[in-house]
Amino acid sequence: MIGSLLILVKLKTDMPQTKSIFPIPDFTLSPRIDQVGVEERASRFTKRSIKKESKLKGLKLVLNMIDLTTLEGKDTDGKVKQLCYKAMHPHDALAGLPTVAAICVYPTMVKVAKKALEGSGIKVASVATAFPSGQAPKEIKIRDTKYAVANGADEVDMVISRGKFHAGEYNFVFDEIAAIKEACGEARLKVILETGELGTFDKVRRASDIAMYAGADFIKTSTGKIQPAATMPVTLVMLEAIRDFYYKTGRMVGMKPAGGISKSKLALHYLVMVKEVLGEEWLNNHWFRFGASSLANDVLMQMMKEKTGVYQAANYFSVD
């Protein structure tokens, strides 16, 4: 591999040193992205038509891939418990529905969510590392992560230091992700790139590569606090990075587009894209998620339409 370092690389972090079993590339040599080509290919996925049984199967799959999220300063125990109830019981009038994949909350709400979801199989995810800005010392980020995991988080969603990334300090970003991965212990790590702040597809690809080689279990587009959030072209760039990483290392990495996906039709287009770029192995909630709480209601409305032939009004569904 051009620009590779040693096959066995010690990561320089303030945590006890860990080892990477993969060749670490020179991230300044990440592939250049054909913007026109990516946008054209992404648009083709929106031309697909999915009907009847295939549509219903796809909607159930989408529902099972959603991370229901509440990340507000006004979050209360009661609000989190209500969201957990919805996660376990998406709609009383629709039998046989799957649950969502996870509930995502701040670290201080992890214990509440964990207790409310007990026995359901739904994961508890927690944002950490000074979400959403990422502007905090690494020591604080590590403590934030350990606090979430100690309170029961199954997954941690961290944000990269975009300022360091834009300054070209790629080793800093790499080492920080590796340190947070170690702090996660058994919890899975989702690394949020905040693609709306990266600016170009080339930078999205570079950030994706850094995150995966540093140990990310998932790469994620956005915090949902910055616009633009997830888009199909950006997600396509990240999916292709995951594919190339898998071919080089044999390790699967998950993908989570977050923010801006509120309609079922668009979500189904995302699933088509995942299948064609990565294959059916990624079409489950262990490897693919939607960070889009409002999407759940639209999925439920579409399912009611398939069952009854008519749409229900939006106010029949709880607002998340």
- pTM for this prediction: 0.89
User: In this predicted model, what pLDDT tens digit does every residue of 186-217 receive, in sequence order?
Assistant: 999 999 999 999 999 999 999 999 999 999 99
Q: Say yes or no to pLDDT of 17 above 60.
A: no
How much is the pLDDT for 50?
Answer: 83
Position 80 confidence tier, pLDDT thresholds 50, 70, 90? very high
Split at pLDDT 50, 70, 90, the class of 11 is: very low
Mean pLDDT of 60-67: 96
pLDDT at 62: 97
Between 178 and 316, the higher pLDDT residue: 178
- pLDDT for the residue 110: 98
Domain over 35-306 is classified CATH 3.20.20.70: yes
Give the pLDDT confidence of 247-306 residue by residue, as tens digits.
999 999 999 999 999 999 999 999 999 999 999 999 999 999 999 888 999 999 888 887
Task: Give the domain ranges of the chain.
Answer: 35-306
Residue-level pLDDT at 183: 98
Token pair for 102 = 């996870």
Residue 314 has what pLDDT? 65
Which residue in the list 67, 144, 154, 157 is annotated as catalytic? 157
pLDDT band at 318 (very low <50, low <70, confident <90, very high): low
More confident residue, 162 or 9: 162
- Mean per-residue pLDDT of the chain: 90
DSSP letters for the chain: -TT---SSEE---SSSP-EE-SPPP-GGGPPP--HHHHHHHHHHHTT----HHHHHHHHHHHHHTBEEE---TT--HHHHHHHHHHHH-S-TTSTTPPPPSEEEE-GGGHHHHHHHTTTS--EEEEE-SSTTT--S-HHHHHHHHHHHHHTT-SEEEEE--HHHHHTT-HHHHHHHHHHHHHHHTTSEEEEE--GGGT-SHHHHHHHHHHHHHTT-SEEE---SSSSS---HHHHHHHHHHHHHHHHHH----EEE-BSS---HHHHHHHHHHHHHHT-GGG-STTTB-BB-HHHHHHHHHHHHHHHHSSPPPGGGS---
Please report which confidence band the pLDDT of residue 6 belongs to, taking 50, 70 and 90 as the band edges: very low
Predicted pLDDT at 89: 87
pLDDT at 10 over 60: no
pLDDT of residue 21: 59
Specify whether 51 is catalytic. Answer: no
For this structure, is 256 an active site residue?
A: yes
Q: Which of 114, 190, 203, 256 is catalytic?
A: 256
pLDDT (mean) for 130-140:
96
Measured distance between the N- and C-terminal CA atoms of the chain, rounded to whole angstroms: 47
Tokens linked to 29: 């040599």
- pLDDT score of 313 more than 80: no
Q: Which of 123, 190, 220, 298 is catalytic?
A: 220
The answer to whether residue 220 is catalytic is yes
